[in-house]
Amino acid sequence: MIFLGVFFLALALAWYENKFIVLDVGERPLFLGTPTNQVALYLVRMVITYGSFAGLFFVYGAPLAVAGFVTYWVFSWATFRTYFGREVRRVAKEIMASEPNDDPSNRPTEAEAVEDATQIVAGNVKTAGRGSVL
């Protein structure tokens, strides 16, 4: 039973990381605010996750361990895509926002704003918010 609890802890850690990893460093909580903390949380999450899979395998058998792996993978993928897309939309909206006195010809198109926002958010994920790829 303990390995099921550890598995749910792994799901919670995946959700936590996916929710905040896409944000700029100034908006992140302490545990993801520096590259060192980001790597530490990732390593702890991996140890807990794969430890729970091993425990599920040895206590309940291969079918439950495989089901746990698939569930974890789908949950992690879905939450990352959700929060990544949400942050891209938010950043794109900020890029497209213009001041009342701005020249309309200098305003980026929606496609350009989404492309730039995607690069910014991807840079946040890769570099712990310490500079973007632009």
User: Once rounded to an integer, what is the mean pLDDT over residues 15-26?
Assistant: 88
pLDDT, tens digit, 9 for 90 and up, residues 42-95: 899 999 999 999 999 999 999 999 999 999 999 999 999 999 999 999 999 988
pLDDT of residue 130: 57
Question: Residue 98: its pLDDT value, please?
Answer: 65
Q: What values do phi and psi take at 24, rounded to 5?
A: -65, 155
56 vs 31 pLDDT, higher one: 56
- Residue 51 three-state SS: helix
Whether 41 shows a pLDDT value over 90: the answer reads: no
**More confident position, 96 or 16:** 16
pLDDT of residue 133: 46
Task: Indicate the SS3 state at residue 49.
Answer: helix
**Distance from the Cα of residue 128 to its chain's centroid:** 11
Three-state secondary-structure class, residue 72: helix
Q: Which residues contact 17 (CB under 8 A, 6 or more apart)?
A: 32, 41, 42, 45
Q: Nearest-5° angle of CA 82, CA 84, CA 88?
A: 120
| pTM for this predicted structure | 0.82
How far apart CA 28 and CA 76 sit, in angstroms, is: 19
